[in-house]
Structure 1
């Protein structure tokens, strides 16, 4: 059991830097403000967000890595589906039943990891992925 925990922490340490750098590039591409970034990452503290931006964290939580994974999947899927307008898509009103006329960003910043999951599923389905 202790070995598994040690491996998990090491994996998270290895993934933290690349995951955060990539997330913040996506956040810039989507013009996400700090509050939106915090909601997506599941953070309550602006100082934590700032620390993460500076690279001042050894390992982020599994929850944060999962959230970032969904965002990266959404970003990649949008780039495939909408190469010229992918970054604007998150802010545009969307008539798909999942969004009810609201922009996808409304779901993404709900604070619920489940909303990130369903948006990722929606994008994958649009791409023809199961």
Structure 2
């Protein structure tokens, strides 16, 4: 997926007013994700994205262990579009991960999910992608 397509999809699905806002929430989500998953996995994801987005996944060398609420707080602090609202940040992160799933190889997001504890709320990040792939 090309950079313009990725940002356009994020903007559309999150119903944002600008591409800058879409880039902001993409940067916030991908950077935070890179802090929580194995650096090798983050690099793998980053290598499958356009360089402008992949770099957000490739700057961290150590995995931090933090809960879902901290994940959302970090996204909220980093993004310009959500004004620090955790509910908006959680939705924005869901949108970015939904678009990310379409941009990377099949199964790569499953590898990410496997690194996140299922009992801390992280499964909420993947609700959009899972609801679209589930039979209606």
- TM-score using structure 2 length: 0.30
Higher alpha-carbon Rg: 1
